[in-house]
Structure 1
Amino acid sequence: MSEEEKSKKGKSLWGPLLAVPAVFFLAPLGIGLYLTHPFPAKSTKNPMDFGLKFEEIEFFNRKDQVKLSGWWIPATSKQSKKTVITAHGYMNERAMEGIEGLQLAKVLSKQGYNVLMFDFRNAGKSKGRTTGLGYFEKHDLSAAIEYSIQKKKQKMIALLGWSMGASTALIAGCEHPAVSAIIADSPFSDLEAFLKENLSYWTKLPKKPFTPFIYHSMRKLLKIDPTEVSPITNVKNTKGKSFLLIHSKTDEAIPYTESEKLIQSISSDNHKELWLTEDGKHINSYLLNKEEYEHRVIQFLNKYLRVG
């Protein structure tokens, strides 16, 4: 074999060898970077499009001073001391346009509830470049609760969240004494366990060997410990709250068994309800069951929202 042939053979061997670390290390790092720093979703509609009066508001996360933006939608009938704060899902925005969240806000407003809809960090008009999958967002939601109490003088606070926002609502709602009622639509029960089991749904890559690499790259990029985002731990240790969990049996993104685990972990010191819907994709229960969804939510709030 000539020297030229040997050189070509050596080069052909180096190519595949160099491609291995690129696939198993650089690709997971890139995916982790995208999942933790997604492009912010923007709202294209506002409450006025639904005949609602509203106020553009801003407040700050007290932990790291990230500026958050939202809407204050007052109850249409009269001045109210009852407020529902919504918490949107991952890669979503305050209006939850994909499931017509503003239509639900209109129903709540007509029923005598103020509604605060806001963007988590790195979403909509809020600042920040990192999405924390609940780790940072629980502090964002706590800031919204404090805004309602201090700036708007509210006495009764309920939280209504979807997906990541549902899990965040369970954490922040259990931790904040002013919150008495929590509605969680399609939550995960524990972030670490959920990512290790279901990350492949979001990455579209096989669980083995990619999930461990992507999971650890996300941890490094976020500089968080996912074990600290555990709604099931929060609900186990809370008393005197009321919970309504909603989940579709055909949810592929977050299995309905996550809500079943949560509801089973809520102690008898709290009121708890679980509504499992049929044939809906992730967080589509409202789209497919508008009248029943509105009825159940209003009935729950009318009965269990009280001074925290």
Structure 2
Amino acid sequence: MKKGKNKKSWWRPFLAAPILFFLAPISIGLYLTHPFPARTTKNPKDYGLDFEEIEFFSRKDQLKLSGWWIAASSKPSNKVVITAHGYTNERAMEGIEGLQLAKVLSEQGYNVLMFDFRNAGQSKGRTTGFGFFEKHDLFSAIDYAIQKKNQEKIALLGWSMGASTALIAGCEHPNVSVIIADSPFSDLEDFLKENLSFWSKLPKRPFTPIIYHSMRKLHKIDPNEVSPIYSVSNSKGKSFLLIHSIGDEAIPFTESEKIFRAISPGSPKEFWLTENGEHINSYLLNKDEYQQRVLQFLDQYFQ
């Protein structure tokens, strides 16, 4: 009896190994699509701004989303800049002092709408879709600005995942005229297959395909539908400002280069490649120039 029991135990690790091999990357895929929501500890009042707490519902599934409406500080305006935060961030973009940029925009006559995507900040939901679900959240923010605040001129300003989402939603929504994208990826499917190991901390082979397919099958996220490069190549009547740091390791600056080259002929476009800084740190390290470039672009093309 003792010998048989030892023999059975000897085989147990070999039976468990395949399960563990697949379980680890699938669990990481689950974590990447269900990160803990970032907490917001500051609000516009900390920067001397009057603001309104707002709520609206995503076009996708009527999920409740939360945000701030920051009115232009000088006089009533029909121009709004809607911001779109990055992955595992929240509306204030505290890490790069996004509220400071909102203050500058407000002082220059722009209303600012800052909101949390699903599964971020104060918004509801548990799944982050890398732009797949967030596109619909951003559509709803645009609709809110038009229907509830009577805005006529709309610009989108996004970082990282929010930048890619802004490119997609902005190209599709007829009321958006200006899109400012800081550190976007060009195509989610290609980006994940090439760069997912940076986020998962696992070797590309064999784990990236397992994580990628778990996202598609288990979490119902279709990366094929998240393609900023396709959106800009089929869009007309929009103006694009791309910003990226040459030192970005999370999303290489070559992603913005691909998007810039793909923008449809005749569409106004600018590309600012900053010299230093990590992912989405261009504003934090170049505040004055960043503000100047954004305001000049808005003034020139927000017509």
TM-score under structure 2 normalisation?
0.98
Match of residue 203 from structure 1 = 200
User: After the TM superposition, which segments of 4 or more aligned residues of structure 1 sit over 6 Å from their partners?
Assistant: none
Q: Partner letter of residue 13 of structure 2?
A: G
Q: Counterparts of 1:112 and 1:36 in 2: how far apart (Å)?
A: 37
Match of residue 138 from structure 1 = 135
- Contact 1:252–1:282 under 8 Å retained in 2: yes
Q: Partner letter of residue 74 of structure 1?
A: A
What whole-Å deviation, never above 9, does each CA across 1:149-180 have from its counterpart, x for those lacking one? 01000010000000000000000000001100
Q: Partner letter of residue 79 of structure 1?
A: P
Segments of 5+ residues of structure 2 without an aligned counterpart are: none
What whole-Å deviation, never above 9, does each CA across 1:84-132 have from its counterpart, x for those lacking one? 0000000110000000000000000001000000000111111111111
Instruction: Give the CA deviation at 1:29.
Output: 1.5
1:244-259 alignment, distance < 5 Å? 244-259=241-256
- Contact 1:54–1:74 under 8 Å retained in 2: yes
2:102 aligned residue (80, 97, 105): 105
Instruction: Give the CA deviation at 1:261.
Output: 0.2
Instruction: Give the CA deviation at 1:5.
Output: 4.1
* SS of equivalent to 1:17: helix
Q: Partner letter of residue 137 of structure 1?
A: E
Q: Counterparts of 1:285 and 1:12 in 2: how far apart (Å)?
A: 56
Q: Counterparts of 1:170 and 1:85 in 2: how far apart (Å)?
A: 12
Match of residue 235 from structure 1 = 232
Instruction: Give the CA deviation at 1:279.
Output: 2.1
Count residues in correspondence: 303
| 1:183 pairs with 2:183 | no
Match of residue 168 from structure 2 = 171
Segments of 5+ residues of structure 1 without an aligned counterpart are: none
| 1:39 pairs with 2:36 | yes
What whole-Å deviation, never above 9, does each CA across 1:194-226 have from its counterpart, x for those lacking one? 000000000111101110101111112321321
* SS of equivalent to 1:281: coil
| 1:296 pairs with 2:293 | yes
Q: Partner letter of residue 12 of structure 1?
A: W
Match of residue 15 from structure 1 = 13
Range with greater deviation from structure 2 (61-70 or 11-20)? 11-20
What whole-Å deviation, never above 9, does each CA across 1:177-196 have from its counterpart, x for those lacking one? 11000000000000000000
Q: Counterparts of 1:91 and 1:253 in 2: how far apart (Å)?
A: 13
Q: Counterparts of 1:6 and 1:66 in 2: how far apart (Å)?
A: 57
* SS of equivalent to 1:84: strand
Q: Counterparts of 1:67 and 1:186 in 2: how far apart (Å)?
A: 27
- Contact 1:36–1:221 under 8 Å retained in 2: no
2:189 aligned residue (184, 187, 192): 192
* SS of equivalent to 2:242: strand
Match of residue 53 from structure 1 = 50
Q: Counterparts of 2:129 and 2:219 in 1: how far apart (Å)?
A: 7
Q: Counterparts of 1:16 and 1:271 in 2: how far apart (Å)?
A: 60
- Contact 1:32–1:221 under 8 Å retained in 2: no
* SS of equivalent to 1:219: helix
Q: Counterparts of 2:159 and 2:76 in 1: how far apart (Å)?
A: 27
